[in-house]
Amino acid sequence: MPEPQREWHVASLVVRHRPEAIPALAAAIVPAEGLELALQDDTRSVLLQESDGTGGLMASVDMLRALPGVLTVDLVYHHVDSPADGDPSAIDPQEQTR
């Protein structure tokens, strides 16, 4: 029996933080799967998240909110690609960036 096809989620998050939160934020992003820093200044960071479900996205949001010095985490953009009904091919995120 074939493995079920997964969704592909991409999201952007704006994290508002105190300047002293930057080292903790950087340390938390490195091991987080699918999470990367796109832009940063003293009090704001823009992060990109790719995952195969909302669970990964929400885990990242919860982790970021728990960091000392983080004031807010806002979901700015969220897109989901689902496999087409009856299409046996898996979603390839590289082809979704056209």
Is-contact 88 2, C-beta < 8 A?
Answer: yes
The pLDDT averaged over each successive group of 10 residues in the chain (98 residues) is 74 98 97 95 97 90 97 95 58 45
SS3 call for 27? helix
Burial zone of 60 (CB within 10 Å; 0-12 exposed, 13-18 middle, 19+ buried) = buried
The phi, psi pair for 85, rounded to 5°, reads: -60, 125
pTM of the model: 0.76
